[in-house]
Amino acid sequence: MKKGNLLIKNAAELVTCSGFEAKKGKAMSDLHMIFDGAVVVEEGMIKAVGKTEEILGQYPEENYEVIDASGKAVLPGFVDSHTHFLFGGYRAEEFSWRLRGDSYMEIMERGGGILSSVKATKAATREELFTSAMKRLDSMLSFGVTTVEGKSGYGLDYATEIKQLEVMKEVNAAHPIDVVSTFLGAHAVPKEYKGKEDDLIDFFIEKVMPEVAERRLAEFCDIFCEKNVFSIEQSRRLLTKAKEMGFKIKLHADEIVSLGGAELAAELGAISADHLLQASDKGIEDMAKTGVIATLLPGTAFSLKEKFARGRYMIDQNCAVALATDLNPGSCFTESIPLIFALATLYMGITTEEAITALTINGAAAVDKADKVGSIDVGKQGDLILLEFPSYKYIPYHIGVSTVEKVIKDGIVVFHKI
Ligand SMILES: N=CN[C@@H](CCC(=O)O)C(=O)O
Ligand SMILES: [Zn+2]
């Protein structure tokens, strides 16, 4: 991808979110703002950050493409740290069943849900998967997302899991958004493995994960640790092996039933535990102590009509909280960052400042990239967004509508609102 030389000046608010690691508890409230701020990007990397007057004294404007951000707020690009953006087919029919009262797990147990996306993903060509994924990433970019995590998990067999990860690599090379890939083979149990989940775990450990690791097709390994999917013991076994193979680990934890997924994430030193609607007090305490990031997905709770995860409580217990869309074809089909802001602030007791931290530096930490993205700091990638308003406070205030006017990736303007 091209790298730019850019100078942004006169930003009403430069919301730096400064930091190189996840922010826990109270630290999530400090956005490290610079009023009348400027930022210099050279060869795609942030070279200088400060007050406009100081920066212009040291970096002559003629050397750069210049953006005058008068009356606008500038923030780091958002990091959407939990998505399933690469899949075949859709499940609109299933959504209407859920509206009539069927539960997500009931639909899954009768062979729909994830398994229906598995069928469609197996049938899809690489081109179809590539084209639809690129479109979804275009939509994410328009909301200010510059880094996204994407999972496999709609294959559950060798060929389709590898196909998903290979196509994700192609998408990463072709799209301005950076993609961090996660292997989620253990996402559901196909019919032929019902009652033989241990065999399926063995299959992933022996036949799929070594190749994924060797070819560096994924940085993370994840599992759907849930009642009637994969147990705590099966999750511990798969993730322990994953760590030995060099993967960083994540878990879909305590989404529907309080199984002890948060506690397991802390025990294993996972980078993040995600969903956590039913996480216990002990699990939350363990995550806070061990620094596991609590990645909350309010769009999913909203779409499933479940109670939201206890975001306020987690932050008060000194957890590092990240927020993400969970874009997927079933439980939450949305790329909308404004929706996530609305739900987090209006329904979860999370402040605007905390939500911004959760979608920038903490999102970056949830994909283990807090040293590279997620804040406006010297040495990080020039991934920035310009709002059409003078303050970050307009983000949740303009309910459900994107306030992003420009998106800059590696110092190049890659999106401009018309
Ligand atoms: N809960 C498990 N996995 C996904 C949903 C995937 C799907 O329904 O297709 C999630 O994170 O919400
Ligand atoms: Zn998920």
From the CA of 89, which ligand is nearest? Answer: 1
pTM (predicted TM-score): 0.98
In terms of Cα–Cα distance, which of 73, 64, 67, 1 is closest to 36?
73
Structure confidence at residue 399 (pLDDT): 97
| CA gap 343, 350 in Å, rounded | 9
Tell me, using a 6 A CB cutoff, whether residue 300 lines ligand 1.
Answer: yes
CB 417 within 8 A of CB 387: no
Structure confidence at residue 216 (pLDDT): 98
Encoded amino acid at 224, one letter: F
The yes/no answer to whether this complex scores an ipTM above 0.90 is yes
Structure confidence at residue 417 (pLDDT): 96
The pLDDT profile of the chain, 418 residues, written as one tens digit per residue, is 899 999 999 999 999 999 999 999 999 999 999 999 999 999 999 999 999 999 999 999 999 999 999 999 999 999 999 999 999 999 999 999 999 999 999 998 888 899 999 999 999 999 999 999 999 999 999 999 999 999 999 999 999 999 999 999 999 999 999 999 999 999 999 999 999 999 999 999 999 999 999 999 999 999 999 999 999 999 999 999 999 999 999 999 999 999 999 999 999 999 999 999 999 999 999 999 999 999 999 999 999 999 999 999 999 999 999 999 999 999 999 999 999 999 999 999 999 999 999 999 999 999 999 999 999 999 999 999 999 999 999 999 999 999 999 999 999 999 999 8
Atom of ligand 1 nearest to the CA of 87: 9
DSSP string, 14-55: EE----SS---GGGGG---EEEEEEEEEETTEEEEEEEHHHH
Backbone dihedral angles phi then psi of residue 319, each to the nearest 5 degrees = -80, 155
What's the farthest any 2 CA atoms get from each other in the chain?
Answer: 69
Compute, in angstroms, the gap from residue 187 CA to the centroid of ligand 1: 8
Compute, in angstroms, the gap from residue 244 CA to the centroid of ligand 1: 26
Structure confidence at residue 1 (pLDDT): 83
Binding-site entries for Zn(2+) = 82, 84, 252, 326
Looking at ligand 1, which residue's alpha carbon is closest to its atom 11? 326
Compute, in angstroms, the gap from residue 331 CA to the centroid of ligand 2: 9
What do you get for the CA distance between the two ends of the chain, in Å? 24
DSSP string, 323-380: E-----SSS-----HHHHHHHHHHHS---HHHHHHHHTHHHHHHTT-TTTSSS--TTS
Tell me, using a 6 A CB cutoff, whether residue 87 lines ligand 1.
Answer: no
Tell me, using a 6 A CB cutoff, whether residue 324 lines ligand 1.
Answer: no
CB 340 within 8 A of CB 296: no
From the CA of 254, which ligand is nearest? Answer: 1
Structure confidence at residue 42 (pLDDT): 98
CB 365 within 8 A of CB 357: no
Burial class of residue 14, CB neighbours in 10 A (0-12, 13-18, 19+)? buried
CB 395 within 8 A of CB 353: no
Tell me, using a 6 A CB cutoff, whether residue 310 lines ligand 1.
Answer: no
| CA gap 392, 396 in Å, rounded | 8
Atom of ligand 1 nearest to the CA of 331: 8
Tell me, using a 6 A CB cutoff, whether residue 114 lines ligand 1.
Answer: yes
Residue identified by tokens 């992003």 is 404
DSSP string, 179-198: EEEEEEEETS--GGGTT-HH
From the CA of 151, which ligand is nearest? Answer: 2
Q: Tell me 61's DSSP state.
A: G
Structure confidence at residue 210 (pLDDT): 98
Tell me, using a 6 A CB cutoff, whether residue 224 lines ligand 1.
Answer: yes
